[in-house]
Structure 1
Amino acid sequence: MTELGVRWTAEQVLALAPDAASRSAGSRLGVTGPWSATGAGEGAVWGLCKGSGSKPYQTVVAVHDGTGGSGTAAGQAPGPVPASASAPVPGYKCSCPSRKFPCKHALGLLLLWADGPAAVPDGEKPPEWAESWLAGRRQRAERRTAAAPAAGAGSGGRGSDSEAAKRRAERRAERMAAGASELEQRLADLLRGGLAGADRAGYAAWDETAARMVDAQAPGLAARVRELGAIAASGDGWPARLLEECALLHLLDEGFLGISRLPAPLAATIRSRVGLTTDKAELVATEGAAIRDRWLVLGLRDSEDGALTTRRVWLRGAGTGRMAMLLSFGAAGRAPELALPPGISLDADLAFYPGVRPLRAALGTQFAPPAAPAADGPPPGCTVGETLAAYGDAVRDDPWVDAWPVVLSDVVPIPAPDGWQVADAADDALPVDPRCLGRTGLWQLAAVSGGTPVTVFGECGHRGFIPLTAWPPTTTEPVPL
């Protein structure tokens, strides 16, 4: 192990790819043939990759920035990593013209690094071209760190700034309330006329309503309206599903319009569901809000919403046993910046956003580079019955919860003509979400299991279970699905 932490597995590297084409192209470059002048040290991996031109591509990946400042020497213990520093892992720079991040060269270099020190030796000093970029990253992180308290001090001394921010918040609240009232009227009109013709109306009416919610600065309401438009084309049983979602949207509307009468945790949950979130810097800086633990990365899941990619990274505290979710976003061919491969652990502070059942968190200070957990097997899990009970409790407190993270122990994946299930020793079975049926990950899970019980992490929702990571019975290495 170096100051980079442990080398990743190939599966962890490929989880960073922005799309399937990048995974395939990166895999072809994960061999020594096209590479020269490779090395690893001072929180980075670098190398020269031969391309079609006369000059090789210069590729460098900031796997970890050490202290967020000038880095650490080999063998030294790193200091805390400020929350305002660059993303924990990784950052990319390549001289190729690709507009994808990471590009195939960065993926190939990381795959080569994952293969061992024979191809990418440790303890090297970065070449000048790589060091120049790394130094720039460190300087930008230091400027952000220095600017955060200065900005807070400046705004505290200028009452006009505070008053202006207050007026902006009041105007937004008024627009959102007007949007919620308009949405209530549209839902009432829909139900008054009946749902029977909703499948013939198309998407135009839903898109127009969603646009109105965007104008009202209520992105959470807009997203739920768009989902209503897709339900009518979702197959048998769509009227019941549409009615259920309309009821949940009505409940959210009414909660927001009467938010002043609600308990603080529930009010915070509703604000987040309609699109009002707490500022990350303010959350992390709140005294006593951070929880330090060694957080194991259980899995990640990307979802597409037009040109925007949303990444959910799930973690579990080794000491607290608490689940956490980190959100990051990417657009225009970029993978979300926060890329924590399953199986690594972080000694870090997490600050949880307020709510009835706080789950989303912001990453604060990191006290060491990412590392592999002790080889003591997969994380502890629960039975199918316990999973359903936990999900039921979550829905009771937060009816709009999309998914609840869960680790299932000793379950066997079972393919069937009408879908997949995961079953435990008590013969209790949890159906797999139908949206997973086209994914190769289900057959990969079956191959990992081989008919024997395995530990699986995933998301439990109202449509079923989405498996994300599995731990084979013969090894402690997680397998992203």
Structure 2
Amino acid sequence: MRRTVEQVLALAPDEASRRAGSRLGTAGPWSGVGGRDGVVWGRCEGSGRTPYRTVVDTAGPAYACTCPSRSSPCKHALGLMLLCAADGAAVPDGAEPPDWAARRLSTRAARAERGTAPAAPADPEAARRRAERRAARMTAGAEELERRLADLVRGGLATAGQQGYALWEETAARMVDAQAPGLAGRVRELGAIPGSGPGWPVRLLEECALTHLLDRAWLSADRLPADLATTVRTRVGLPSAPGGAAVRDRWLVLAQYDTGDGRLTTRRIWLHGTDTGRTALLLSFGAAGRAPALALPVGTLVDGELTPHAGAGQLRADPGERLVPVAGPAAPPPGGPVGAALDAYGRALREDPWLESWPVTLDRVVPAPAEYGWQLADADGREALPLTGGDRPRPGLWRLLALSGGTPVTVFGECGHRGFTPLAAWSPDTPGETVPLV
């Protein structure tokens, strides 16, 4: 399938790559361009004496380029895909790949084959001992955090605004030493609340209560239902793993966006199964400065298997094979009013009390200004959800306003205690066109 220009730009790891790739999306800098069986290649003139050689497997997508860039895709791969999207005639199909393109493809295929080869069997007894040692360290960390929270409540929440952030950072470092990164993250969030604005003591009390609940749940995990115990272990910091039967479907890519903390970039991709009606979340990670490997353009329909992770209310899944773009209708997921979205989020919280948000689709809603920022209101005006971010201007908001024009639209996003984050939208006039909002 040939991707649109918007879908190609959605693959860019950052804004700088997006701008640089756009400048290379014309025939001028390219020579020796060709394609065959979903693979395109070409030579791109650069600042050096030798043109850069670029190969793109559009089905993955996967990229190979001789440029020194660490971005994936690099600007040359983006430019080649943009050239294909804007002018299909500029890329002759059915050509025989030159030797350098064939070598790149065979090398990448060999690496993929080595990556999927079965690993040597691990020593189960050694793995059990390692797990027990880590569990003991995490338990010690949870007990120490309980004492920290008890001291905070005993001294009064007002003292948290006088102690500064250093004490919280020290506690977070202790949680890292205890191999409980989930607890460390929650401690850092607690440390950022004092002095964050009016009403911060209330917010601090709420987050302390949730952290206390997580601590107690970890210390009593052996008495919890299996799914809830798995969720608790994941929230504390143990990695989750696929635990269900694989589900094959034609998946509509609803949204893709990246978040980072300076050390790790996390890419979240939301999918909707057009036959099963399931919603799935794919996570991909990249080290600092590098984009995650997995990239699926928003609005694309892909075919493949996903294996869901275990845990109460979890939507995360892993692709069991390469997801292949296919042609077909791409209608939005079935949605409902604002009240139904809040009910869905409430049911999810019963399964996972530490849930930040839940994916929902709002049907026939209208973006409108509110007292503080913007909101999405039912067309009949009965209920409304505030949009996250307050009154800060965001490109996605303006795109949503332009798509709506004051008329009802369908919006997919994440509904949480801070409000609703819109990620994709559809107009009644073009229900098969997914408009990304991030």
State the TM-score, normalized to the length of structure 1: 0.86
Which string of whole-angstrom CA distances, capped at 9 and with x for unpartnered residues, describes residues 82-137 of structure 1? xxxxxxx3222222222322222221222112224122233333222122121111
The SS at the match of 1:39 is: strand
Deviates more, 1:53-62 or 1:259-268: 53-62
> What's the offset of the Cα at 1:432?
0.3
Query: Which residue of structure 2 aligns with residue 108 of structure 1?
Result: 79
Does structure 1 conserve the Cα–Cα contact (< 8 Å) formed by 2:262 and 2:288?
A: no
Deviation at 1:271, TM superposition (A): 0.8
Cα deviation for residue 165 of structure 1 reads 0.8
Q: Map residues 18-33 of structure 1 onto 2, 5 A cutoff.
A: 18-33=13-28
**Per the alignment, in what secondary structure is the counterpart of residue 109 of structure 2?**
helix
Q: Does 1:352 align with 2:347?
A: no
Aligned to 1:34: 29
Contact 1:404 1:460 in 2 (8 A): yes
- The answer to whether residue 351 in structure 2 is matched with residue 397 in structure 1 is yes
- Give the counterpart of 1:326 among 282, 302, 309: 282
- Aligned positions of 1:263-412 closer than 5 A: 263-279=225-241, 283=242, 289-366=245-322, 369-374=324-329, 377-412=331-366
Contact 1:349–1:364 (8 Å) recurs in 2: yes
In structure 2, runs of 5+ residues without a counterpart are none
SS of the residue corresponding to residue 236 of structure 1 reads coil
Which of 135, 148, 157 pairs up with 1:173?
135
Across the aligned residues of Structure 1 and Structure 2, the Cα RMSD in angstroms comes to: 1.9
Aligned to 1:439: 394
Structure 2: how far apart are the matches of 1:402 and 1:29? Answer: 40
User: Deviation string for 1:109-168 (max 9, x for gaps)?
Assistant: 2211222412223333322212212111111222233334xx2xx44xxxxx11111100
- Conserved in 1, the CA contact under 8 Å of 2:173 and 2:184? yes
Q: 1:39 and 1:471, CA in 2 relative to 1: closer, same or farther beyond 3 A?
A: farther
CA deviation vs aligned residue, 1:353-373 (integer Å, no higher than 9, x gap):
11111211111135x722243
Greater RCO, 1 or 2 (C-alpha within 8 Å, sep 6+): 1
Letter aligned with residue 80 of structure 2: L
Distance 1:249 1:317, change over 3 A: same
User: Is 1:8–2:3 an aligned residue pair?
Assistant: yes
Extract unaligned runs of 5+ from structure 1. 1-5, 65-88, 156-160
Task: Give the Cα–Cα distance (whole angstroms) in 1 for the partners of residues 169 and 41 of structure 2.
Answer: 46
Q: Which stretch of structure 1 is more off in the superposition, 163-172 or 353-362? A: 353-362
Aligned residues: 435
CA distance in 2, matches of 1:197, 1:116: 64
> Does the C-alpha gap of structure 1 residues 114 and 162 become closer, same or farther in structure 2, counting only changes over 3 Å?
same
Q: Superposed, which structure 2 residues align to 1:133-282 within 5 Å?
A: 133-148=104-119, 151=120, 154-155=121-122, 161-279=123-241
Q: Secondary structure at the match of 1:477?
A: strand
CA distance, structure 1, for counterparts of residue 151 and residue 144 of structure 2: 11
Aligned to 1:418: 372
2:271–2:281 contact (8 Å) kept in structure 1: yes
Q: Give the secondary structure class of the aligned counterpart of 1:220.
A: helix
| Pair 1:181–1:454, CA change in 2 (3 A) | same
From the superposition, tell whether residues 436 and 467 of structure 1 become closer, same or farther in structure 2 (CA, over 3 Å). farther
Q: CA deviation at 1:436?
A: 8.1
Find runs of 4+ consecutive structure 1 residues off by over 4 angstroms. Answer: none
Q: 1:336 to 1:262 in 2, by over 3 A?
A: same
Distance 1:307 1:274 in 2: 19
Name the CA distance, whole Å, in 1 between partners of 2:195 and 2:216: 27
Instruction: Provide the rounded CA distance (Å) in 1 between the counterparts of 2:271 and 2:163.
Output: 42
Aligned with 1:55 (options 50, 53, 57)? 50
User: 1:450 is aligned with what amino acid?
Assistant: G
State whether residues 407 and 458 of structure 1, in contact with CA within 8 Å, keep that contact through their aligned partners in structure 2.
Answer: yes
Name the TM-score, length of structure 2 as normaliser: 0.94
Partner Cα distance (2:15, 2:163) in 1 = 35
Q: Summarize deviations over 1:390-416 as a string: whole Å, max 9, x none.
A: 011111221111211111122221234
